[in-house]
Amino acid sequence: MLEQYFVRPDTIDRIRASWIAEPIERYVAWLSERGYRPRNVCSRVPILLRFGVFTAGRGANAWEDLPAFVEEFVQAWVRERRPHASPERARRFASELRNPIHQMLRLVVPGFVGTSRCRVPGAAFHDRVPGFFGYLREERGLREESVRLYDYHLSRFEQYLATIGLGDLAALSPAVLGGFVAERSTQLGKNALRDLCGTLRVFVRYLYREQVLSRDLSSTIESPQQYRLSDLPRSIGWDDVRRMLDAVDRRTAVGRRDYAILLLLVTYGLRAREVASLTLEDLDWRAERLRVPERKAGHSTVFPLSPVAGAAVLDYLQDGRPETADRHLFFRVLAPPRPLTHAAVSSRASYYLHKAGCEVARPGSHTLRHACVQRLVDAGFAWKAIGDYVGHRSAASTAVYGKVAVEQLREVAGIGEDVL
């Protein structure tokens, strides 16, 4: 199998001389079966060879010993190769190193899980507060997406407590909670910081209920001030939408997929999560209907299938979607084929908005959702009809689009430029 990817015999000899040569060859075969490109295979094998040298130098002599050295190896290589990288760049580089090692170890070490992608939501504080995530699911009835958000914020809180050396949750104080919120406020926007504060309030209230804390500290956690309807919708005009769609290269499989995604986002005002969860069964070609199940408000919606959007989806299905038994509609192009996540959907929208030169705050999938709603508002549709169309829970969510007459203001701005 190695001969398919490496031309020079001395390279193959060096790989087979490694004490983990057999796991490496099994991993290369695994990559080949899943359609990884040769350049991806060739870029991963040197990492594994270096990992083999590193572990041998630290006394490892069995494959079962390897997982204990992964993080030490990754951090050592990050310090060596990226000594001055920003925290975000260092994190990405570490992930690029860790991923092939974890994939190989899952093949040869029974029971090995690895990577954070396999992390079960609810791992934060599991040893110290084992019942909290069961409480969220069973008593509060939260969806798994919400549980993941709690886990995300609380795992950072757990890391913060370890950093300041506080191991006993009974010693939590307003000062500790405030210090964590202040630290995270430099990294999060207002909405994310509000979610963080809400998570902490629920958590400390649960600790008080379980008598881990002697008093309820939830009232000491203050969310950032947010005023209703204080923000303007981050929509773009229809000319910008056309320019963005024209920026897609539909000659490639990626372009055909992304063009279909963008049309669904802007035509129906779908959320990224709703696009990512679409399956082949949600398209009724005979009745020309598109079904969007499990919307944020807890209901499903059936739309007439737009001829333009339908044609784009069909083009992707015929020449772009990988052959797989998975029924999801949209897949990543790189091997192995996996369904696109909602983050990937939003990222593709952001990419094309940047490519087209559309100036908007926080470009992403919601930009196109806002553009869809704003177009319906400008066309004079009733608030209730618009809210039902895009799946808003309440009329207040739609009312923000009525604060300004966007198209009229654009015309005024154009007149002003002519005068100048």
Going by the DSSP 8-state scheme, the letter that residue 398 receives in this structure is H
> Does 389 qualify as catalytic in the annotation?
no
Exposed / middle / buried, residue 266 (Cβ in 10 Å: 0-12, 13-18, 19+) = buried
Catalytic pick from 271, 295, 321, 375? 271
| Residue 299 appears among annotated catalytic residues | no
Say how far apart CA 234 and CA 220 lie, in whole Å.
33
Q: Is 354 a catalytic residue?
A: no
Q: Residue 231's pLDDT is what?
A: 55
Helix-then-strand count for the chain, H and E: 18, 3
Which residue's entry shows tokens 């020079």? 8
Which SS3 state, helix, strand or coil, does residue 289 take?
strand
Record the pTM.
0.61
Closest by CA position to 182, among listed 125, 226, 224, 227: 224
Residue 296 appears among annotated catalytic residues = yes
231 C-beta neighbours (distance < 10 Å), count: 13
Which residue do the tokens 């926080």 mark?
Answer: 362
The reported pLDDT for the residue numbered 381 is 80
Low-confidence ranges of the chain (pLDDT < 70): 114-123, 225-234, 296-298, 383, 392-420
Query: Does domain 238-419 correspond to CATH entry 1.10.443.10?
Result: yes
Catalytic residue among 257, 348, 375, 392: 392
A 10 A CB-CB count for 181 gives 20
Question: What phi, psi does 23 have (nearest 5°)?
Answer: -60, -35
The catalytically annotated residue of 206, 259, 268, 401 is 401
Amino acid at 357: G
- What is the C-alpha to C-alpha distance for residues 398 and 233, in angstroms, rounded to an integer? 10
Question: What is the structure's pLDDT at 415?
Answer: 45
Q: From the candidates 201, 256, 369, 370, which is the catalytic residue?
A: 369
pLDDT of residue 304: 93
What is the structure's pLDDT at 118? 43
- How far, in Å, CA of 162 to CA of 111, rounded? 27
**C-alpha–C-alpha distance, residues 342 and 271, integer Å:** 8
Tell me if residue 271 is catalytic. yes
Catalytic residue chosen out of the listed positions 102, 321, 366, 370? 366
Q: What is the CATH code of the structural domain delimited by 132-220? A: 1.10.150
pLDDT per residue as tens digits for the range 243-266 = 999 999 999 999 999 999 999 999
What is the per-residue pLDDT for 207? 95
pLDDT score for 225: 66
| Whether residue 135 lies in the annotated active site | no
Domain boundaries, the chain: 2-118, 132-220, 238-419
In the chain, the largest separation of any two C-alpha atoms, in whole Å, equals 79
Task: Judge whether 132-220 and 238-419 match in fold.
Answer: no
Active-site annotation holder among 296, 328, 342, 355: 296
Three-state secondary-structure class, residue 39? helix
